[in-house]
Amino acid sequence: MTPILKNRAGADSVHYPPADPRLIHGAVALQARLRPSANAIVHRGEHIDYATLDAAADTYAADLYTAGVRPGTVVPVLLPRSPQLVALLLAVLKCGAAYAALDRRWPQERIDRIVTASSAPILVTEAELPVDTPCWIVPSESLRMAASRGGAAPSVSIDSSSAATVFFTSGSTGTPKGVLSPHRATTRLFSGVGFADFGPSRVVLQAAAVSWDAFSMELWGPLTSGGTCAIASTDYLLPDTLAELITEAGVDTAWMTSSLFNLLVDEDDPGRPCFAGLRQILTGGERLSSTHVARFLTRYPDITLFNGYGPVESCVFATAHRVTAADCTHPEGIPIGVPVPDTAVYILAGDRVLPPGTVGEICLAGDGLALGYLGDAEATAASFSVVVLGEAPVRVYRTGDLGTLDSDGVLHFRGRSDLQVKISGHRIEPGEIETVARRLPGIREVAVVPVPAPGGGYERLAMFYTARAPTAPAPAMVRRALAAELPGYLVPHSVHHRPALPTTATGKLDRSTLLASL
């Protein structure tokens, strides 16, 4: 195959291999052909066009294929947010493999566990790490230099049902669950008839942690649609940071969790409004605060606000709703919307479809569904099942969320059927934290309790424990030990030693009494 860079530099006879827009890298390659000189990425003042990005990805794909990356494998990538990270993720996909973007802030033990679980041929990183998996060290070069090397991506045969990404989320057993998501789960969101505009002239902020499925929306949304991805240089989005990115990078579209949205609304300075210049905001991950939304819409009537809902098992969003001022007065909260493209929502009781207005379990179907949990057939079978709906068998994901569909087909959230919660957009299984805590020396009983936020949802975690006689480890020591094994969002904000954990008359843990003791 003729090197892509040479073709794009003006060869007399230009030939491009087929680009399937149902594949993430295929859709990006198609945009590179349609608008090769358009900005694909902006980062710290550097502008990378589509031709350079795609050519660099081809070069890296050739390198990775030589290093043993093949279709059907999972490749962990441990790199900071940068244009080079984007090119390397594309390169993994061009090899027919799936990538697992790991958060560098995670404790080393968690990274080791995930790399081992992925059975990866290599770990893509900046430097050698003390892991059993061979490290492939990223070349110290600019994307333009990588593109100029002119490597050709390997010829592989995959389709939209092939695995593309692995997202790791909290697991009740104490081990993070790897959600294996296919190409179509991402590309379905940006087919041109989606819930928001990510196409040419849009500049989308990328600030979410790379391990989240929201990262896919912020990155692949614009890059598969012809827009521009503006990569934040910091891990935390503050009002001043957002205002600077709007001014300097031209950001007009941003995703933020409802907790972050509330914070920015509270901190918004009339003298330097942090939202001014945006055209679209996508939020969700937790129940929206009607009070904060009403204040925002009053001040920024020209900015479109979307409320999105979707577990990682259905990749980013399963439903979306354009929020209006009237939604803020809805007695049961702001709706979470109607299905995004190639997605279906059912309210079920077991295998039975419930009529509109009836509370039941939210079950999802369609192209957004994950293939399953990496290396865990039992958990996959428990969460994904085939249900006969009408006369046709339908594969569904049972979310554990409760909701109703109204007469217009709009979905409304009604809570959880278990103890799982979301805080700052992170899905949290208290059982994972409790399992890790019980392994610590001197710990006997453990209870992790979400602390409600004033505007609805939850704002932090509190952990209570009892100790094995005669010496109790200090709460500060327990918290430090947890921080060494768990990512920051799973480390309880406060840790409390108790001589005993309270129970109800039926012998169950009394969580309300624990909360009242804070």
| Average pLDDT in the chain | 89
Residues 144/84, Cβ–Cβ less than 8 Å: no
Write down the pLDDT at residue 432.
86
- Rounded Cα distance, 359 and 26, in Å: 41
Sheet holding 458-467: strands in order across?
A: 443-452, 458-467, 494-497
- Of the pLDDT bands very low, low, confident and very high (cuts 50, 70, 90), residue 15 is very low
Weakest-pLDDT range from 153-162, 175-184, 189-198:
189-198
Q: Give 79's contacts (C-beta < 8 A, 6+ positions apart).
A: 85, 88, 104, 124, 125, 126, 138
- Rounded Cα distance, 310 and 308, in Å: 7
Helical H runs in 268-354? 290-299
- Of the pLDDT bands very low, low, confident and very high (cuts 50, 70, 90), residue 151 is confident
Write down the pLDDT at residue 399.
93
346: number of Cβ within 10 Å:
19
pLDDT over 60 (residue 314)? yes
Write down the pLDDT at residue 343.
96
Averaged over 48-71, what is the pLDDT?
96
Averaged over 64-79, what is the pLDDT?
96
Averaged over 88-116, what is the pLDDT?
93
Weakest-pLDDT range from 163-177, 269-283, 344-358, 493-507:
163-177
Write down the pLDDT at residue 81.
93
pLDDT over 60 (residue 10)? no
> Hey, what domains does the chain have and what are their CATH numbers?
1-12+22-154 (3.40.50.980), 173-417 (3.40.50.12780), 429-516 (3.30.300.30)
Averaged over 283-310, what is the pLDDT?
93
Averaged over 399-416, what is the pLDDT?
90
Write down the pLDDT at residue 371.
98
Write down the pLDDT at residue 16.
45
Q: Give 374's contacts (C-beta < 8 A, 6+ positions apart).
A: 74, 117, 118, 166, 177, 178, 179, 180
pLDDT over 90 (residue 310)? yes
34: number of Cβ within 10 Å:
12
Write down the pLDDT at residue 8.
33
Longest CA–CA span in the chain (Å) reads 83
- Of the pLDDT bands very low, low, confident and very high (cuts 50, 70, 90), residue 269 is confident
Averaged over 89-114, what is the pLDDT?
93
Residue 401 to residues 241, 361, 418, Cα–Cα distance (Å): 34, 6, 8
Averaged over 444-453, what is the pLDDT?
89
- Of the pLDDT bands very low, low, confident and very high (cuts 50, 70, 90), residue 194 is confident
- Of the pLDDT bands very low, low, confident and very high (cuts 50, 70, 90), residue 179 is very high
pLDDT tens-digit map of 202-251: 999 999 999 989 999 999 999 999 999 999 988 888 899 999 999 999 99
Weakest-pLDDT range from 36-50, 101-115, 160-174, 304-318:
160-174
Write down the pLDDT at residue 79.
96
- Of the pLDDT bands very low, low, confident and very high (cuts 50, 70, 90), residue 285 is confident
Write down the pLDDT at residue 506.
65
pLDDT over 90 (residue 448)? yes
- Of the pLDDT bands very low, low, confident and very high (cuts 50, 70, 90), residue 445 is confident
Write down the pLDDT at residue 14.
35
Q: Give 382's contacts (C-beta < 8 A, 6+ positions apart).
A: none
- Of the pLDDT bands very low, low, confident and very high (cuts 50, 70, 90), residue 18 is low
- Rounded Cα distance, 59 and 411, in Å: 45
Write down the pLDDT at residue 27.
97
- Of the pLDDT bands very low, low, confident and very high (cuts 50, 70, 90), residue 367 is very high
Say what percent of the chain tops pLDDT 90.
Answer: 65
Q: Give 286's contacts (C-beta < 8 A, 6+ positions apart).
A: 257, 258, 259, 422, 423, 424, 425, 456, 457, 458
Place of tokens 């399992």: 435
Write down the pLDDT at residue 12.
32
- Of the pLDDT bands very low, low, confident and very high (cuts 50, 70, 90), residue 174 is low
Write down the pLDDT at residue 500.
87
pLDDT tens-digit map of 119-138: 899 999 998 888 888 999 99
SS3 at position 46: strand
Write down the pLDDT at residue 9.
31
Write down the pLDDT at residue 462.
94
Averaged over 375-389, what is the pLDDT?
93
